[in-house]
Structure 1
């Protein structure tokens, strides 16, 4: 999962430039718009357009584009601009497989710990309620951030810092994939909320095997037909 070079390899979670720098601001804005679906797969972006929008010169935008290419979010074409790199089907499958493995192990650990699920379930229900509220407000960006948070809370509760690190690398992919899946079929948002509620209940019941089965179903229902 290391960053690739200019060959447009798979995206990885990168470290943005310093937030107070112009390049860092350009990076953050463009990256968020890619993750939130405002800049669609295959769309072409120009340094001049972004620079004008953000009120800066082209130089920091060029730096931001180079970083985004290195992380695999876009592909640069000299004198033409930058293309937002589509998510290939194999990447969808690999991210879903990795997420299931990491979360299932985390829940197994939580369920084996006496009283370990209480705080997690309480926290998950707070996130679910927020997901419900922001979806009622038709805020897809906030919905996808809450979706990432739900699954991040599950992994964090497992207490394995190595698995948390792996999961951190998947979170930007997760966010972008969820944006695309919900945009493709908005009924999946209500389904995701209902299934999150069921996942929290399985953790509360200490049923880690049931959680493993339900997670596989959840990931397939939300993302399967997007592959």
Structure 2
């Protein structure tokens, strides 16, 4: 029986070689930015040639990506980029809504609200700058950081850690929903302005409604369009 002070020593995961790490980051970036859309087949040879390396580190990277759920490997055929599952967008939207609204509710006073609003407006400036430069990928990263800043502002590290696990799925969905449409991206930034103002004013109910609309437009465009027609 373990004593109260005893700890279980878990084996550390094997450290990837520099080449395998490079291949892993490269392929994951292609998946998250939708340059390798769901349903695409990709081979070790293609990636190895692109990165001018042998297939061995690429194979290691593919195995790691399969473990994380991004790829599905087929011997002698290559790897399939796993499509976004049916209902996954809705699940992510619901989780984000709960976490972000809770964070705003947790702000205790006007100073906290104003400090968070200032950080959000700095992020908005970065988003606009990225769009002015035509860098949609940088915009997507700043978009993710904007929402993470809201959750972190609630001061609950456990919820913030959970939110971080959603970041990559969010980033992939943002890339999919934008489809390189700069006009939609600029509309999202305008919605961020509304969210930041609601945070600063402590208008939680207004924030909740605006956030739901924003997330639906970003990740569930068909449902958002139906809602617009209904109005």
* TM-score class normalised by the smaller sequence: 0.7 to 0.9
Shift of residue 71, structure 1, vs aligned partner? 0.8
Give the paired residue count.
211
8 Å contact from structure 1 (residues 74, 85) kept in 2: yes
8 Å contact from structure 2 (residues 131, 182) kept in 1: no
For 2:162 and 2:180, locate their aligned partners in 1 and report how far apart those are by CA, in whole Å.
Answer: 27
For 1:142 and 1:55, locate their aligned partners in 2 and report how far apart those are by CA, in whole Å.
Answer: 26
8 Å contact from structure 1 (residues 96, 219) kept in 2: yes
Instruction: Pick one of 68, 73, 78 that aligns with 1:71.
Output: 68
When the two structures are superposed, what TM-score results if normalisation uses the length of structure 2? 0.86
8 Å contact from structure 1 (residues 134, 142) kept in 2: yes
When the two structures are superposed, what TM-score results if normalisation uses the length of structure 1? 0.88
Residue 220 of structure 1 corresponds to 216
8 Å contact from structure 1 (residues 18, 24) kept in 2: no
Residue 140 of structure 1 corresponds to 136
The alignment's C-alpha RMSD in Å is: 1.8
State whether structure 2 residue 35 is matched by structure 1 residue 49.
no
8 Å contact from structure 1 (residues 103, 151) kept in 2: yes
For 1:148 and 1:52, locate their aligned partners in 2 and report how far apart those are by CA, in whole Å.
Answer: 32
Show structure 1 runs of 5+ residues with no match: 1-15
For 2:43 and 2:215, locate their aligned partners in 1 and report how far apart those are by CA, in whole Å.
Answer: 35
For 2:117 and 2:110, locate their aligned partners in 1 and report how far apart those are by CA, in whole Å.
Answer: 14
Residue 207 of structure 2 corresponds to 211
Per-residue CA deviations over 1:38-81 (Å, capped at 9, x if unaligned) read 11221111101111111221111111101111111111111110
Shift of residue 222, structure 1, vs aligned partner? 1.7
Show structure 2 runs of 5+ residues with no match: 1-12, 224-231
Residue 163 of structure 1 corresponds to 159
For 2:21 and 2:35, locate their aligned partners in 1 and report how far apart those are by CA, in whole Å.
Answer: 19
Shift of residue 89, structure 1, vs aligned partner? 2.7
For 1:153 and 1:126, locate their aligned partners in 2 and report how far apart those are by CA, in whole Å.
Answer: 11
Which of structures 1 and 2 has the larger relative contact order (alpha carbons within 8 angstroms, sep 6+)?
1
Instruction: Pick one of 126, 129, 141 that aligns with 1:130.
Output: 126
Shift of residue 184, structure 1, vs aligned partner? 6.8
Residue 13 of structure 1 corresponds to none
Work out which of the two has the higher radius of gyration on C-alpha atoms and give 1 or 2: 2
8 Å contact from structure 2 (residues 151, 163) kept in 1: yes
Instruction: Pick one of 21, 44, 60 that aligns with 1:24.
Output: 21
Q: Which residues in structure 2 correspond to 1:59-98 (within 5 Å)?
A: 59-98=56-95
Residue 4 of structure 2 corresponds to none
Instruction: Pick one of 150, 156, 173 that aligns with 1:154.
Output: 150
Q: 1:89 aligns to what SS in structure 2? A: coil
Instruction: Pick one of 99, 102, 116 that aligns with 2:99.
Output: 102
